[in-house]
Amino acid sequence: MGRILAFVCVLALLPALCAAAAPAEDAPLPDGRSQYVMDVTLDTEASRYTETVTVTFMNDSDTPWPAVCFSDFVPAMQEHAGVEGCSSAVTAVTGADGEALDHTYSRDEGLLTVTLPQPLEPGRTDTVTVAYEADVPRVEGERFQAASFPDSDGITFRLCHFYPMLCVWRDGGFVHHPYVFAGEAFFTECADYALTLRLPEDFTVVASGAEALLSAGDGQAVWQVTGENMRDLVVTASTEFTEPCTGQVDGVTVRSWGTPDQAEQTEASLQITLDSVELYGRLFGEYPYDELDICMVSMPAEIGGIEHPGLVEISYGPLSMMLDIIVTHEVAHQWFYAVVGNDQYDEPFLDESFASFCETLYRQYVRGDSPEDIAVDIDYRQWLDEDEMYRIDRSYGDYFAGDGEYGNYYYYVSIYALGRDLLWDLRQVMGDEAFFAMLSSWYEQESFRVATIDGFLDHLAACTDDDPAVAALADKYLAR
């Protein structure tokens, strides 16, 4: 599959570096995971933050790395927000010894390429520190924003993808995809995070990982956020939230956050999340983190929600029949995206289709809907024979490149509907016992890794002894 619009930073093309540079120091990295140590100061009055991000990483390829690449999604998010005067900048890049490192930064592409003191050999580690600063747009309806709920005197900052993120090495280069706003198309590997956040003391911090208030006084507070084996770090800081609704299931603490006016939705979201965590833990495997936060946020109702590891954001609004489906879909991403990772741009089937299929499980086992009723509701199979664009193993860019006017339509029908239908059909052909055994072993096998569609097809074939009926289904839905 071609990587439409993806920028691959091929390090073999970079110039040779000085051989006299000091070798990289090896540091212990659990399971080879990168480590992010971040120090962030959020000036909420100016709607601006400054940060230093120190990333320690290991070359887990078989090729020396003369440089490393980082994705910076902030400029794209600022441009999408359409707020004048927003800026961002890489202000310094240094190595493990504190010396400045040569680097190139394209704000238009959102790509930072850092030349290392000497090529990093396979199996060795190195460290890069990036100093960065940016404005947070004061606007509603964005992932990266500062906005207030209606009739509120407070404000909530949503800091999504707010730091330079180490690109994934694949097929001889670092992969950098464009930032997209119709759906999600991220590609990151699991890492360990330690964030120190400084901001006014009237803010409550909700984040991926575990949050702790270290100190408060004289109007300022220092928070610490730690996360182990997570694909990214997201922070929501709010003066609008009340004490959360809290519950526990299978050893997981779930907190649902919102304003006093959102109490009914907050309480309902808590119960939906508890039911979902129990259900998916039973069917696939246990949720691996100690806590899961659900936040009401200011974003368009048609978006519904967005997932992050350990944190789900839900659009506030009147309770409806859709709330449970929105929440359970985003919670399902904790299994399929946060734990079983994938390249969301190249192979969105592996997370969005799986999360959409989980909606059917919630409807059956929690709502009590009959399989017959669900089958009628989800049947989009008629599209399969109409156009090759509806095959579910295309990249995000492929769907939009086929016909720009209908890109959204191709993407959503294929990935959210037809991918779900494939999994539904596999369940009918295989039977529940074999089907859920296949998914639970897939979850175990691919936990905290980057899964691929080819890997899933191999796993499916192995679990079904190359059943011709299963192979026929795969041929029906996939182009490969």
Give backbone dihedrals phi and psi of 56, rounded to 5 degrees, phi first: -105, 130
- pLDDT at residue 18, as a whole number: 33
Contact 47/138 with Cβ under 8 angstroms? yes
Instruction: Specify if 300 maps to a domain.
Output: no
Count the Cβ atoms, other than its own, within 10 Å of residue 450: 19
Per-residue confidence band for 2, with pLDDT thresholds at 50, 70 and 90: very low
Domain boundary at 228, 244, 276, which? 228
- Span 238-291, pLDDT tens digits: 999 999 999 999 999 999 999 999 999 999 999 999 999 999 999 999 999 999
- pLDDT at residue 301, as a whole number: 66
Instruction: Specify if 244 maps to a domain.
Output: no
- The closest alpha carbon to 176, from 12, 34, 5, 35, belongs to 5
The DSSP 8-state label assigned to residue 177 in this structure reads P
Percent over 70 (pLDDT), the chain: 92
pLDDT over 70 (residue 19): no
- The closest alpha carbon to 393, from 357, 429, 356, 346, belongs to 346
What is the rounded distance in angstroms from the CA atom of residue 35 to the CA atom of residue 39?
13
Instruction: Specify if 37 maps to a domain.
Output: yes
Q: Which two tokens stand for residue 43?
A: 């000036």
Mean pLDDT, rounded, for 424-442 = 98
The DSSP 8-state label assigned to residue 321 in this structure reads T
159: Cβ–Cβ under 8 A, 6 or more apart, which residues? 42, 49, 136, 144, 234, 235, 236, 237
- pLDDT at residue 25, as a whole number: 53
Q: Is 477 helix (H, G, I), strand (E, B) or coil?
A: helix
Mean pLDDT, rounded, for 467-475 = 95
pLDDT over 60 (residue 364): yes
Instruction: Specify if 357 maps to a domain.
Output: yes
Instruction: Specify if 249 maps to a domain.
Output: no
- Record the pTM: 0.93
- pLDDT at residue 418, as a whole number: 96
pLDDT over 50 (residue 159): yes
- The closest alpha carbon to 425, from 362, 463, 456, 379, belongs to 379
- Span 215-225, pLDDT tens digits: 999 999 999 99
Instruction: Specify if 273 maps to a domain.
Output: no
What is the rounded distance in angstroms from the CA atom of residue 23 to the CA atom of residue 21?
6
The torsion angle over the Cα atoms of residues 199, 205, 209 and 215, rounded to 10 degrees, is 50
| Same domain, residue pair 65 and 212 | yes
| Same domain, residue pair 364 and 215 | no
Q: Which two tokens stand for residue 54?
A: 């120190």
- pLDDT at residue 28, as a whole number: 67
| Same domain, residue pair 224 and 353 | no
Contact 128/112 with Cβ under 8 angstroms? no
Strands 245-249, 252-257: pairing is: antiparallel
pLDDT over 70 (residue 27): no
What range does the domain containing 373 cover? 349-477
77: burial class by Cβ within 10 Å (0-12, 13-18, 19+)? Answer: buried
Strands 291-297, 252-257: pairing is: parallel
Mean pLDDT, rounded, for 112-141 = 97
What is the rounded distance in angstroms from the CA atom of residue 257 to the CA atom of residue 252?
16
Q: Is 73 helix (H, G, I), strand (E, B) or coil?
A: coil
Q: Which of 27-31, 126-130, 136-140, 410-414 has the lowest mean pLDDT?
A: 27-31
Per-residue confidence band for 412, with pLDDT thresholds at 50, 70 and 90: very high
Instruction: Specify if 302 maps to a domain.
Output: no
Q: Which two tokens stand for residue 139?
A: 């606007």
What is the rounded distance in angstroms from the CA atom of residue 44 to the CA atom of residue 386?
52
What is the rounded distance in angstroms from the CA atom of residue 158 to the CA atom of residue 338?
19
- The closest alpha carbon to 146, from 257, 308, 293, 298, belongs to 298
Q: Is 16 helix (H, G, I), strand (E, B) or coil?
A: coil
- pLDDT at residue 55, as a whole number: 98
Q: Is the dihedral of CA 93, 94, 95, 100 positive or negative?
A: positive
Contact 268/319 with Cβ under 8 angstroms? yes
Count the Cβ atoms, other than its own, within 10 Å of residue 193: 22
Percent over 90 (pLDDT), the chain: 82
Domain boundary at 176, 208, 228, which? 228
**Taking all residues of the chain, what is their mean pLDDT, rounded to a whole number?**
91
pLDDT over 50 (residue 467): yes
Query: How many C-alpha atoms does 286 have within 13 Å on its Cβ side?
Result: 8
Mean pLDDT, rounded, for 221-243 = 97
Q: Which two tokens stand for residue 446?
A: 């691919």
CATH number at residue 55: 2.60.40.1730
Domain count, the chain: 2
Q: Is the dihedral of CA 7, 9, 10, 14 positive or negative?
A: positive
| Same domain, residue pair 70 and 209 | yes
Per-residue confidence band for 4, with pLDDT thresholds at 50, 70 and 90: very low
| Same domain, residue pair 211 and 68 | yes
Per-residue confidence band for 465, with pLDDT thresholds at 50, 70 and 90: very high
- pLDDT at residue 334, as a whole number: 98
What is the rounded distance in angstroms from the CA atom of residue 119 to the CA atom of residue 98?
18
What is the rounded distance in angstroms from the CA atom of residue 319 to the CA atom of residue 268?
9
- Span 167-213, pLDDT tens digits: 999 999 999 999 998 888 899 999 999 999 999 999 999 999 999 99
Q: Which residue has the higher pLDDT, 370 or 382?
A: 370
Q: Can you name the residues that pair with 170 across neighbouring β-strands?
A: 173
Per-residue confidence band for 7, with pLDDT thresholds at 50, 70 and 90: very low
Q: Which residue has the higher pLDDT, 428 or 150?
A: 428
- Span 282-311, pLDDT tens digits: 999 999 999 999 999 988 767 889 999 999
pLDDT over 50 (residue 153): yes
pLDDT over 60 (residue 237): yes
Contact 10/402 with Cβ under 8 angstroms? no
Angle subtended at Cα 288 by Cα 284 and Cα 291, rounded to the nearest 5 degrees: 120
CATH number at residue 431: 1.10.390.10
Q: Which two tokens stand for residue 258?
A: 């919102």
Domain boundary at 212, 228, 244, which? 228
- pLDDT at residue 312, as a whole number: 96
- pLDDT at residue 11, as a whole number: 39
| Same domain, residue pair 354 and 221 | no
pLDDT over 70 (residue 399): yes
Strands 7-9, 291-297: pairing is: unpaired
